[in-house]
Amino acid sequence: MALPRVLITRSAHQSSALAEELRALGAEPVMVPAIELTEPTSFAVLDDAVARLEVFHWVLFTSANAVEAFAKRAGGRLKSVQKVAAIGPATARAVEAAGLRVDLMPVQAVAESLVEALQPFLHQQDGSVTRFLLVRAEVAREYLPDALRQRGAVVTIAPAYRNVIPEGSVVAIQELFRARETWPDVITFTSSSSATNLLALLEVAGSELPAEVLRVSIGPVTSRTLEDAGYPPDAEAKTSTIPELALAVIQVLASGNTDK
């Protein structure tokens, strides 16, 4: 009996952890990245922020990629970071690997939860407003900075990287979706960008996302992106982590929902 095939759309350097989880659970990972990480259009804002890290009360990270890019640009200036908030466990691990301490992590790995967790820290003890440095992708949801600003905080957004569509993935997508017998059983989506970019890849490849292929999302924000695009997920990870995403894949396969 053939193993169920699961398409992983993460960037190439991030796909191994999910692939290992899926193999351990009895699935065959198929890796075609819908995202490739590259430098932002300009490092000017990030470099300026690094040069004056002392003025920021908090540095906010919403992805491990942002942490890694920040640490590379900051170098010895990392010691000037005051407090750090990480949106979730994977980001927190990257923060610690960079030699920084995580001072705050929300209950859920979504911007809405991070805003609530930061609520008590919007002002300093002397009543002055808190200055946040948000290190993130060049294009990202604006909810986090907008919500903090609406609550009176000062937020500087420093792009650290861009998510782009890998050119080499077009041919792989064409081959994968050329006929029903080559389709994967499940597609995993680990971010809104992976969802948007996969749909763009399919369009370039002259294909469409078959309704029969199961879709599993890592969390509510990614699920909303899929819903807005007309492809609501068949399952969502209980928490926004790779192990829970892999488990959600196996559970949706076990539910027998393979003939939608």
Instruction: Give 40-58 pLDDT, tens digit per residue.
Output: 999 999 999 999 999 999 9
What is the average per-residue pLDDT within 228-232? 94
**Confidence at residue 252, expressed as pLDDT on a 0 to 100 scale:** 94
Distance CA 199, CA 209 (A): 7
Alpha carbon distances (Å) from 152 to 145, 186, 258: 11, 43, 49
pLDDT above 90 covers a percentage of the chain that reads 75
Instruction: Give 64-95 pLDDT, tens digit per residue.
Output: 999 999 999 999 999 999 999 999 988 999 99
**Confidence at residue 109, expressed as pLDDT on a 0 to 100 scale:** 86
What is the average per-residue pLDDT within 29-35? 90
Question: Which has the higher per-residue pLDDT, 34 or 4?
Answer: 4
Whether the pLDDT of residue 25 is over 80: the answer is yes
Q: Is the Cβ–Cβ distance between 86 and 59 less than 8 Å? A: no
Structure tokens at 195: 């969802």
Report pTM.
Answer: 0.76
| Band (163; pLDDT cuts 50, 70, 90) | confident
Whole-number mean pLDDT of the chain? 92
Domains and CATH numbers, the chain: 5-35+165-254 (3.40.50.10090), 38-162 (3.40.50.10090)
Structure tokens at 233: 């997920």
The identity of residue 139, as a single letter, is V
Q: Is the Cβ–Cβ distance between 68 and 86 less than 8 Å? A: no
